Amino acid sequence: MVNGKPDILVVEDDIPIRNLIMTTLDTQDYKYQTASDGKEALLVAVSHQPDIFLMDLGLPDMDGIEVIKKIRTWSVAPIIVISARSDDKDKIEALDAGADDYLTKPFSVEELLARIRSTLRRLQYLENKGTQIETIFENGDLSIDYTSATVKVGEEVVHLMPMEYNLLCLLAKNVGKVLTHQYILDKVWINAIESDLSSLRVYMATLRKKIEQDKTKEKYIQTRIGIGYGMVRIEKNKIN
């Protein structure tokens, strides 16, 4: 990033939508590149190393999910999906593939900019965390090394996207407490909007899938329907 401004790659084949995104980015003086299909997106990504991806899924030559998977083999840059696919299963598939956020078409200019700002704050938060001396959090077989931003279940390292990691850290720092949906949104999304509640449920689902793979052991995250989420305190000997 230059002067706090990210280099953004816009991957969108729909010309009117691409032009809308470009105009929006221009108003904020964001630097950006564009690609109209998956192959071009991968070439531009390798050559320009963007800080953030804005990724459509319905590309003419390959599905955007496949592009995300290929990008994730060498890049950890945040990927914001912008797609007309609105089902939760589509969101979960994209997040499992490596996306960090999901914006459903049609979208407002204000919401797009809010997503970009939120992504930038998460990037800056993770960068700042790397300069702080922190302890290691342990709960049962789950451990979080805040210094290296490494999450493990037992001896296995669990790969989390930035949003999933931020949610896990928030729950860990409030272990034993139930956090309301609004509290979580305010802490993690910063400028939360109503549609983020649906995204929160999706992120929690993908986070739980990653840290609760062993169905025979106790669950780390408890859902309070209509209220929020909390991390359960688990003694080490209870899950061995």
Residues with Cβ within 8 Å of 27's Cβ and at least 6 positions away in sequence, in order, are: none
Per-residue pLDDT, 194: 55
Residue 21: Cβ within 10 Å count: 22
CA-wise closest residue to 115 among 83, 163, 80, 162 = 80
- The Cα–Cα gap between 34 and 16 comes to 13
Report the relative pairing of strands 52-55 and 7-11 from DSSP bridges. Answer: parallel
Pairing state between β 142-145 and 150-153? antiparallel
pLDDT in tens, the chain (240 residues): 656 688 999 999 999 999 999 999 999 999 999 999 999 999 999 888 898 999 999 999 999 999 999 998 888 789 999 999 888 899 999 998 889 899 999 999 999 999 998 888 877 766 665 544 457 889 989 999 887 789 999 889 999 988 899 899 999 988 888 888 888 888 887 555 555 788 888 999 999 999 987 766 778 999 988 889 999 988 765 444
Q: Rounded to 5 degrees, what angle do the CA atoms 79, 97, 202 make? A: 80
Domains located in the chain, CATH noted? 7-129 (3.40.50.2300), 136-238 (1.10.10.10)
Cα–Cα distance, 39 to 169 (Å, whole number) = 36
